[in-house]
A and B are shown apart, each in its own frame.
Chain A
Amino acid sequence: MEETVTNRAGQAPILQQVTDDILAPLWKPGRGYWLLLLLSFSLIVIGGYIWSRLINTGLGLWGITRPSGWGIDIATFVFWVGIAHSGTLISAILYLFGVSWRASISRTAEAMTVFAVMTAGLFPVMHLGRSWFFYWLIPYPNERQLWVNFRSPLIWDVFAVGTYFTISLFFWYMGMIPDLAIIRDRNTGWKRSIYGFLARGWSGTGIQWRHYKAAYLLLASLATPLVISVHSVVSWDFAMGIVPGWHSTIFAPYFVAGAIFSGLAMVCTLVIPLRRAFKLEAYITLDHFNQLAKMLLFMSFIVTYAYAVEFFIAWYTGDPIERASFYYRAFGSYTVLFWIMIACNSILPLLLLSKKMRCNMKVLFSISLLINVGMYLERFMIIPVSLAHDFNPYIWHLYKPTIYEYGVLAGSFGFFSFWFLLFIKFLPAIPIFEVKELLHSHSAGKLEAAGK
């Protein structure tokens, strides 16, 4: 078995050092951190301002129109839900399969999941013409005897995303309890109280560990089907519609694959700079990235296959409207975006066939970033572009996003990074105990000696 945790000299770090290294960001944030935080916050302010304008003036500020009633708003929603995917994939599914390399990146991935769902959740509310009535989508008993329409995929969405968020949050929090206890023990004063509260009296006794392991396994098992279900349901937002380019049975697996693909890419995009900034090379090793990159490559194949199937089926149906819609997607007004998407999602990842590329952080970072771009474009191609060219040719109209759409898109990145930055400041980005556990299991004797 390969070494999964090594220090720069190729030696495993000692346990004390593990804790110090991982918790380092918690004590002394540098100037760069504050600048990033300020930038994220500014983006949130911009996004918030735009939302207030949208509420005050109307959604007309956006470029969405008829026929493209959804555009950047819903594409961004799907994008962030997609990002949210690999967090659970890495921490829950890989956990169940006993994949050991997940340990170092699982916390970051889970945090990413939680924040991405939070970010995603803003958009279905924001995109409502009357977002102040968003709670009408929730089936709560009310004296007006109004109820929601359970036939609408949008209601399924409320449940799917809501459930996913709840489970992900618990899963993330559960996994952090032992680490929170470590931080508690290293702090004094009010910080100690807060971390103490969050650590829920963890003292690391055997019985606690036994219960903890059982609960973690249970939550992991609960979360696993959600990885499949959430994005399947999100895909049904479209597949249940009759719009050519939406109405397809391939959508659920297609979206899940796309989500995992974009999520893994986002993990790389976040972890590579994080690893470098906080000098965590000892914990997140090239081998981790090698494994991630292999998964990326695999997902890229699946996504590419889905593209091919979509086009094949469109042709195979013989339905001229369906065909026209796909022809438009590839060669219509948005053709440039389409081919960028193909380049980013299907062609560039082929570089990862080479191990050299997989282990080159610059290359992997660039590819992962471009996959994010490509996957965003995929959502854009599916949502507004399909709508822009649907059944009624008389009403065809180009969708051109306005500054207000780009503003909320930027705001969503600000929102996400704001939480993420707070996370790396206040919580351990790498699970300390799991890394220790890993070290322990790999070279028990050697470490034991070193520990004494």
Chain B
Amino acid sequence: MTDSLNRRNFLKLVGLSGVASTVGCGTPPSRKLISLVMPSEEIVPGEAIWYATTCRECLSGCGMRVRTREGRVTKVEGNPEHPISQGGLCIRGQASLQGLYNPDRIQSPFRRNANGTIEPLGWAEAESQLADRLSALENTADRNKIVFLSGHNGDTLDRLIRQWMTALHSEHYLIYEPFSLVTIKEANRIAFGRAEVPDYSIAEADYLLSFGADFLETWLSPVGFSRGFAAIRNYREDRRGKIVQVEPRLSLTGANADEWVSLQPGTEMWIALAMARYIVTEGLSVELPPAEIRRLGILLEPYSSNRASSVTQVPEETIERLATEFAGASAGLAIGGGVAVTGDNATATQVAINLLNHVTGRVGQTIRFDRSFQVPDTAGLSALRGLVDSINRGEVEVLFIHHTNPIFNLPPDLGFSAALQKVPLVVSFSSFSDETTDLAHLVLPDHTPLEQWGDFRPAAGVHSLMQPAMNPVFDTRSTGDVLLELAKQMGGDVAEAFQVQTFQDYLKDAWKQTYGEVAGEDFENFWQESLLRGGIWPSRSSGMESQSVDRRARVGLLPQIFDFPFPPAPTKGPAEFFLHAYPSSRYYDGRGANKPWLHEIPDPITNVVWDSWVEVHPETARQLNVVEGDLLHVESAVGHVEAPVYIYEGVRPDTVAIPIGLGHESYGRYAKDRGSNPSVLLPVAADPLSGTQVWSGSKVKISKTGRRSELVRTDGSRTDLDRGFSRIIPLSALTATAVPSEEVHHQEPEHESLSMYPPHDHKDYRWGMAINLSSCTGCGACVAACYAENNVPVVGKELIARGRHMAWIRIERYMENVSATPDIRFSPMMCQQCDNAPCEPVCPVYATMHSSDGLNVQVYNRCVGTRYCSNNCPYKVRTFNWFDYQFPEPLHLQLNPDVSVRSKGIMEKCTFCIQRIREGKDHAKDEGRLVRDGEVVPACAQSCPTQAIVFGNLLDPNSTVSKLADQQHGYRVLEELNTKPAITYLPRIKRI
């Protein structure tokens, strides 16, 4: 026998050819364990490597840890040490993986010729062409015709762009973000002379009054605020804080509040002013200088409760009660944000909220200017109108567009799209072919945030780093590097402005300049440590508090405030409705629309997937004679959209609400031609004080089209029919029986006798979970984390319509009551890992069985697919692979190698992340001990921004989960069936 064909190979060949000839499908593609020719030394097959970086899906700047396996990113998680995210991560952060591996990413640079054809370019060619073009603009005046329009950039990239633009002698660097926080800055400048966004200590508040701020969804820093929310909502020292949400449409945040004050859109200012007036006149305010009280009295005089009530349609008593409660709270906090306060009086509203906070002494207490958020000075609509005008005047020669999609977000009437076509050269750095990039002449695709260097300062004292967690998936290049290369090629003074070759060096230099003193001698060491940690911030024990010396230092009102002209009330015609276009917690401003997970995971409130809709009040629906799924024509003065009706009691009868984020004309296969974009309804209007775009309060007419477009929802029933899936408990019941009683602990023996079979013998572990429904906000981050960790396939709208949703964990939303005291419940539901599992005895082949750790395990290889286990599961948490599902390239690179990808015909379900348990047990075994509490954390629990999910060993009486599971008010779902679930739910504490 020759070397090439020994016995072993011969047998393999015979076997293979035999199989190939019978099956008739050629040889499988070659698979490599490590897909690199020369693997890096740190890559050990089977071992995950974690990199700390920063999430860039919104402006919060949450610290993130990225898990890589064999050189590719497979999962992102919140960085537990990071002060913003504190270990949690939201649904969009989890889905950032699908930005990295998006199958519709721009894979290499190209040029779009005049006739629209696309000509691929090499990087060298593209850069030299662009450098030549820029060099051709010789004199300073011409160079000033270069405009750089960008989304909010990280600190150092921002600095580089500024420096680069300065070197080119252009002063036109604009930052455009659709959801701007400039109004808050501006209002604080007007009221307190501090143009900052302060930190809001939600966690310390016991009375949170939110004027439309969707702080659990998109506003400012949702992950951090969610943690604060959990602190308010949970039982502490016999009481529980209160959250009041003032907004025209009950958002997810509102659904989690204790009280919903529904008011006419755009009139939030009146509530805040009337409350402030009531507090001042009734002497409920904190001690203020008499002169100030007098002047405030004059300023607030017109805003009597009575008048505010007629403008806002909120009862007078409510306003006064809120004022009394707010003033009486020991740590009250009023915040304003979200689109509810992005009318043309946005800044004035924020000023009013500032006054309210001021008179109750909240500034310096729960509002902290000593550690403010770092919010960029974004260009408002006014600035973009200026840009359009300059383009039309021919004053723009080259326009760079970086990570922003103004065509999608701006009102079409602004004419940005038409203007863009007049610019001689539009260069886009976008990673995706979105609406704006489709008009670019030269596209130089940037890395996605997970592939690049950078840094970000979300808040004062917090400086996060970004580092590439893997080699670029495609032939893309970091914009920072491109700019440096362009500078180098342009030569002369532009080249001289930069000493470094790469953006990585630039970043490091910048850090050296900033932290040279802190780092001391050994900067390299400091740099490596910062990279490991994910940046620098004051450590939790010493840091934040010690820095805040001036916490109590008064931030006082400016004298000019007493002359502040508050604008008059908005009006609308009789046949008109207010339009409430709100940011989706999944799509944000639309940038999430190309990520299939975000489509597949239902909207937390409506439970609709893969679509957008118009929310209509039942009364309005009755008048229009429409039912859910009827296509509605929504028309404003400037445009119109069509979208199917969703009937929702949480929107006012005089208002219709449409989520922002869908309705793309481009942006890849998942986003294109899906849903509708409410931006086209918006007039070109800006808040006069801050110049920001007006999102809310536009007037629309609605009419029935007579056509239908079925909405696909995941909820089979709006309520849980008192079946105890999601329970609430009044605070009073909890305080009355706060002392844990003995009998609660010992219900078990009674249950044991109910089985014919001997009880399971769990030696060291019985894994279990406790889910605190007081903390759960229904955001869906856990669901996204589970999709990423467990290779759960995305099946699409049509299959979800047929009940084939594959999620292993879902948030069951029960709308028990939508009123001033909303009772919308969220309950994460996944495999309950029953001790007496109904699925186990019915499987004919032992494909599902009980493990020695108390897990209900599913053996994929053994499963023949009878589906009896699913039929017999009272929780219906098992999902069946009706087909072989696809992971379009390169999304398949995201698959977690520790988890099998399931094939058609088999059942699957939540495993409590058994791969993580296995890893934890292996580590413990190596060290000859048992797994410690908190050592193993399933993906859902890890991601939860409020830590509502706690996992651990129920056999360990000292574990957190055991203690929670022993809580007297805890319950197990459908316990009466004697399934003995391993998950204990702690009911939502209702504040009565």
Contact = CB atoms under 8 A, between A and B. Distances in A.
A66 to B, nearest CB: 5
B230 to A, nearest CB: 23
A392 B874 contact: yes
A60 B804 contact: yes
Counting chain B CB atoms within 10 Å of each CB, which of A66, A147, A396 scores highest?
A66
A66 B876 contact: yes
A72 to B, nearest CB: 14
Given A58-B905, A394-B715, A129 B863 contact: yes
B716 A149 contact: no
Contact of A148 (B725, B813, B845, B879): B845
B874 A242 contact: yes
B386 interface: no
Given A147-B846, A152-B842, A393 B804 contact: no
Given A134-B864, A147-B846, A153-B842, A393 B870 contact: no
Contacts of B547: none
A65 interface: yes
A63 B867 contact: no
B720 A59 contact: no
A132 to B, nearest CB: 9
B876 A57 contact: no
Nearest to B876: A395
Contacts of A153: 842
Contacts of A320: 721-723
Interface string A65-84: 11111100000000000000
Nearest to A388: B716
B793 to A, nearest CB: 12
B872 A392 contact: no
Contacts of B805: 66
A324 B880 CA distance: 26
A137 B717 CA distance: 36
A64 B870 CA distance: 12
Nearest to A154: B844
Interface stretch (B561-569, B641-649, B881-889): B881-889
A421 interface: no
Interface in B853-903: 862-868, 870-872, 874-876, 878-884
Contacts, number: 168
Given A148-B844, A320-B721, A394-B829, A67 B864 contact: no
Contacts of A64: 867
Contacts of B862: 136, 146
A284 B875 CA distance: 54
A243 interface: yes
Contacts of B812: 392, 394
A63 B803 CA distance: 9
Contacts of B722: 320
Interface string B932-965: 0000000000000000000000000000000000
Contacts of B315: none
B883 A60 contact: yes
Contacts of A60: 799, 802, 804, 882-883, 904
Counting chain A CB atoms within 10 Å of each CB, which of B714, B725, B803, B977 scores highest?
B803
A321 to B, nearest CB: 6
A149 B841 contact: yes
A242 B838 contact: yes
Contacts of B717: 393-394, 396
B868 A241 contact: yes
A133 interface: yes
A382 interface: no
Given A241-B838, A394-B717, A127 B866 contact: yes
A444 B622 CA distance: 83
B865 A128 contact: yes
Contacts of A65: 802-804, 882
Nearest to A384: B871
B802 A63 contact: yes
B829 A241 contact: no
B300 to A, nearest CB: 48
Interface in A36-93: 57-60, 63-70
A69 B867 contact: yes
A130 B904 CA distance: 8
A375 B871 CA distance: 22
B843 interface: yes
A137 B723 contact: no
B725 A393 contact: yes
B553 interface: no
A151 interface: yes
B723 A59 contact: no
Contacts of A67: 803, 870-871, 876
Given A129-B863, A134-B864, A152 B844 contact: yes
Contact of B716 (A128, A130, A324, A396): A396
Given A63-B802, A129-B905, A392 B868 contact: no
B906 interface: yes
Contacts of A394: 714-717, 720, 725, 810, 812-814, 829, 876
Given A63-B802, A320-B721, A152 B868 contact: yes
Interface in A304-334: 320-321, 324
B719 interface: yes
B974 interface: yes
Contacts of B335: none
A130 B874 contact: no
A129 B974 contact: no
A423 B977 CA distance: 50
B216 to A, nearest CB: 21
Contact of B876 (A58, A131, A151, A391): A391
Contacts of B905: 58-59, 128-131
Contacts of B802: 60, 63, 65
A243 B880 CA distance: 18
Interface in A391-439: 391-397
B884 A58 contact: yes
Counting chain A CB atoms within 10 Å of each CB, which of B722, B843, B879 scores highest?
B843
A393 B871 contact: no
A240 interface: yes
A67 B716 CA distance: 10
A158 B867 CA distance: 16
Given A324-B721, A393-B723, A130 B844 contact: no
B907 interface: yes
Contacts of B879: 66
Nearest to A395: B876
A152 B880 contact: no
A397 B803 contact: yes
Contacts of A70: 867-868, 871
A228 interface: no
A157 to B, nearest CB: 8
B831 to A, nearest CB: 13
A390 B876 CA distance: 9
A149 B846 CA distance: 6
Nearest to A153: B842
Contact of A392 (B841, B876, B883, B904): B876
Nearest to A150: B844
A58 B842 contact: no
Contacts of A151: 841-842
Contacts of B845: 136-137, 146, 148-149
19 contacts: A58-B884, A58-B905, A59-B865, A63-B802, A66-B876, A66-B878, A69-B870, A69-B880, A128-B905, A131-B864, A134-B864, A146-B846, A152-B868, A154-B842, A241-B838, A243-B871, A393-B725, A394-B717, A396-B716
Interface of B: 714-717, 719-723, 725, 799, 802-805, 810, 812-814, 829, 838, 841-846, 862-868, 870-872, 874-876, 878-884, 904-907, 974, 977
Given A58-B884, A70-B871, 10 more contacts: A58-B904, A66-B880, A69-B867, A70-B868, A128-B905, A129-B864, A129-B904, A391-B874, A391-B875, A392-B725
> What are the nearest 3 A-B pairs in CB distance?
A129-B865, A129-B905, A60-B882
